[in-house]
A = this chain, B = another copy of it.
Amino acid sequence: MAQPTMQQVAERAGVSLALVSLVMRQAPNVSDYRRQLVLDAAEDLGYRPNVLARNLASRQTSTIGVVLNDIHNPFFAEIIDGIQAAFDEAGYRVLIGNGKRSPSGEAEMIETFLQFRVDGIISAGATMSMSSIEAASESTKMVVVGRSSRSQLIDSVNTDDVSGARMAVDHLIELGHHRIAHIDGGTGAGAEARRRGYSEAMTDHGLSAEIVTACGDFTESGGYLAASELLSQSSQPTAIFAANDLSAVGALHRLEDAGLTVPDDVSIVGYDNTALAAMQHLSLTTVNQPRDELGCLAVKFVLERLRDERTDPVHHMVAPTLVKRKTSSRLTTGAPT
């Protein structure tokens, strides 16, 4: 498993170690003749630069770590696309870490990335404490996506979840619903804001007495359980606003199991507008988060920091939009009580 080194390439090409280094770094001021000599020697030997050594010496890795809160949630898989494309273009490579939906899992991944001395870290949907994230920012450029923040140290990009949630609720109210329940995201990123948007919208429409929140956790099974809870209550909702698509799907299943029809008996609105929601078979009404935009902005912020173009923190909010599909419809009389 011994790998050829620059030294060996240099010897084979009959030049100095330093010249090989210059060629590998595509430095200017290297004659075409020797450049080719080095390239050929490297090719012959199957030389591959050792990033560890390179970065030990140069103090940078040209690598960005992205920590995903949950690799199973399509929302995060989708946000990766924009991030990856933008970094590819800028000449950085991206490594992905799975936070396993737990603060400790995220912390471990961040620690791993820090030990690898990545140039920057983007944390998507982090659930760990802001202070832990800030601690990491002492060692690298950190940007948080999909979570609100007012940190003085870290940039953040996220969707205006309060207004997103309001849109969802307003939509249901427009359709004539009053008994609108919310399945929340527990301690997940954005859960608090969506909960607040829900309450505010309900209150604004004089429906504060109808506010009912069931605990979820951004997973399908969490949504299923939460829907069970809602069904067991004396006054069943005619509409449900779930904190994300995954839990909306879980709730949908629970309602179907109970013999209820969506949207005829109960309307459901999700959040995220993942590919899941877009599936025609589901066709979930949901709130769109512009993932590409979120990803691109996050990258932009990291790059700005990397290039020392800015030191003050930026907190950007992008506007959500409502996507009306087939799981929400006008309240019909004779809905279950």
Contact = CB atoms under 8 A, between A and B. Distances in A.
A2 to B, nearest CB: 9
Interface of A: 1, 3, 46, 48-53, 55-56, 61, 63, 71-72, 74, 77-78, 80, 84, 93-98, 100, 108, 111-112, 114-117, 138-140, 220, 249, 252-253, 256-257, 275, 279-282
A295 to B, nearest CB: 13
Contact of A72 (B50, B56, B77, B256): B77
A114 B3 CA distance: 10
Contact of A50 (B84, B115, B249): B115
A76 to B, nearest CB: 9
A61 B117 CA distance: 13
Contacts of A139: 1, 3, 48
Contacts of A275: 72, 220
A25 to B, nearest CB: 14
Contacts of A96: 71, 95-98
Contacts of A256: 280-281
Contacts of A55: 52
Copies of the protein in its oligomer = 2
A1 B118 CA distance: 12
29 contacts: A1-B140, A48-B111, A48-B114, A48-B115, A50-B115, A50-B117, A52-B52, A52-B53, A52-B61, A63-B116, A71-B71, A71-B77, A71-B80, A72-B275, A77-B77, A84-B98, A84-B100, A93-B112, A95-B97, A95-B112, A96-B96, A96-B98, A116-B116, A220-B275, A249-B279, A252-B281, A253-B279, A253-B281, A281-B282
Contact of A279 (B97, B138, B220): B220
A110 to B, nearest CB: 11
Nearest to A112: B93
Contacts of A63: 112, 116
